Structure 1
Amino acid sequence: MRDQSSREFIGLCGLHRLKSEAPTVGIWVKEQQHGHKFGREAVESLITFAFAELRLEQIYYPVAEENWASRKIAETLGGKIIKQLAQRKYMAVIYEISRYSA
């Protein structure tokens, strides 16, 4: 991701495991760019693409349990927590975002 006017690197985002039963969306935004809604814009764009172009019915969004900004993104897009998962370095919650809830 890059800022449209300055071309500054902001972060990364992507769709993963698209051919599995649990396709996921992931994002990382550099700390200096937090609070500008770049993450929400990126995740919403990827999910819109996944539903419209790839015809996915749902997508999963794993988020660190303590990452309240990313959790807000998922919840704003209609995501529901379906699972809690212990990662190597942190606890995560898995959100399911349905085509019909986004």
Structure 2
Amino acid sequence: MSHAPCLSSARLSIEPFKLQDCSDIYPCISLSLTQFMSWEPAQSFEEFESIGKSWLQAQALRTDQHFVLRDKTTQKFTGLIGIHRIQTKTPEFGLWIREDQHAKGFAKEALKVIYDWGIVTFEADYFIYPVAEQNYASRKLVEGLGGIISHVRQQPKYLQVTYHIPAKLKI
């Protein structure tokens, strides 16, 4: 059960994750997509569906919220965005766009909508956005929201840069 609203941007429908979304999401996850992510692709649809069930559980517990991004015109799956640890003062964003939709501005569009929703929904001191040092597109994205580097840490797959994004309305 999800308590998050259905949101939208100019080109995207941004709706709470449902288990039925797994069939659209799973084929879009590849090793090249996840090179700058802390996780690896599921080895089977069943494994991914199990991950989806854990997302639903986290949503029901109101600790995390995952949103599915779809093209408003075609309803084609475009990506995922989540906010993790939403009961804390420092919720964390996670975002990915399917590879054939990269460099079209969808990530910026989705993050802005979720950021705007997050600052009025959660009592956050700031938001966290971890990103691989070499993922320059994501770094530019978070810096565009006023994100500043908090710290850098070596992760198993890459050097991670963690940004803090102010949690205040920009007037």
TM-score past 0.5 threshold: yes
- When the two chains are superposed, the root-mean-square deviation of aligned CA atoms in Å is 1.5
Q: What's 1:77 paired with?
A: 145
Deviations 1:46-84 (A, max 9, x none): 111111122323100001110111001110000000110
Q: Does residue 53 of structure 1 match 2:121?
A: yes
Q: What's 1:96 paired with?
A: 164
In the alignment, structure 1 segments of 5+ residues that lack a partner are none
Q: Give the distance between the partners of 2:168 and 2:90, measured in 1 at CA.
A: 17
* Higher fraction of helix: 2
Give the greater-gyration-radius structure (CA): 2
Amino acid of the structure 1 residue aligned with 2:95: I
Q: What's 2:103 paired with?
A: 35
Q: Give the distance between the partners of 2:148 and 2:142, measured in 1 at CA.
A: 8
Amino acid of the structure 2 residue aligned with 1:16: H
Q: Give the distance between the partners of 1:81 and 1:101, measured in 2 at CA.
A: 20
In the alignment, structure 2 segments of 5+ residues that lack a partner are 1-68
Q: What's 1:13 paired with?
A: 81
1:51–1:85 Cα change, 3 Å: same
Q: Give the distance between the partners of 2:90 and 2:122, measured in 1 at CA.
A: 14
Q: Give the alignment's TM-score, normalised by structure 1.
A: 0.91
- Mapped contact 2:119–2:169 kept (Cα < 8 A): no
Work out the percentage of aligned pairs sharing the same amino acid.
37
